Amino acid sequence: MADKSDSNSFNYIYTNYKDRFIRFAYTYVKDMPVAEDLVIDALLYYWENRALLKHEENIPAYLLTTVKHKCLNYLKQQQTHRTIEGTIQVHEEWKLATKIATLEACEPYELFTEEAQEIVNKTLEQLPQRTREIFIMSRMQNKSYKEIAAELGLTTKGVEFHITKALKTLRITLKDYLPVFIYLFYN
């Protein structure tokens, strides 16, 4: 149990120095609740360790030194936080600049038709040989149904059947690219 002189000594220091210590701390940390917390922590530290400090003659100087160190630790911690925040902010700004640059460089029509063309090529590869051949002659070589029929020995109705079959398959695989599909294949 603490003796009465310790309590009286602590009450005297608390009453007479607390506000001064808070003003001192506030001068550096510029945040009143933080300054108050640092001073209270210093006072509690002193109270909890007073038995080890019996030889300490100048308790107010000791407490002020403790407050000083607590302020230093707080400010160094704030400095570290700001450095980390700055690094994060620089990284976020870089990410944002990269997004802006890539979006500005993006040409949707090129990407869109490139992607659609890849789907068309894969779909054409999966069509039966004769249907693929007729479709390529019609849409990519711009031959008429009559020319294709004459070249392959088919009727124009037969050519039309294969074109319809290819378009139906492409319409299904290019359902998400309807404008491209219409642009590429319905002329």
pLDDT tens, residue by residue, 143-154: 999 999 999 999
Do 14 and 87 belong to one domain? Answer: yes
Rg of the chain (C-alpha set): 41
How many domains is the chain partitioned into structurally? Answer: 2
Do 97 and 122 belong to one domain? Answer: no
Quick count: other Cβ atoms within 10 Å of Cβ 137? Answer: 20
CATH number at residue 62: 1.10.1740
Residues 22 and 67 sit within 8 Å (Cβ to Cβ): no
Do 88 and 138 belong to one domain? Answer: no
Instruction: Tell me, yes or no, if the pTM score tops 0.75.
Output: no
Final residue belonging to a domain, choices 50, 69, 103: 103
Do 71 and 128 belong to one domain? Answer: no
How does pLDDT run across 58-113, given as a tens digit for each residue?
Answer: 888 889 999 999 999 999 999 999 999 999 999 999 988 887 877 777 666 665 67
Final residue belonging to a domain, choices 64, 80, 103: 103
Do 87 and 112 belong to one domain? Answer: no
Mean pLDDT of 126-138: 93
Quick count: other Cβ atoms within 10 Å of Cβ 10? Answer: 16
Final residue belonging to a domain, choices 77, 103, 129: 103
Do 39 and 84 belong to one domain? Answer: yes
> What domain range is 19 assigned to?
4-103
CATH number at residue 135: 1.10.10.10
Residues 162 and 131 sit within 8 Å (Cβ to Cβ): yes
Give the Cα separation of 43 and 64 in Å (integer).
10
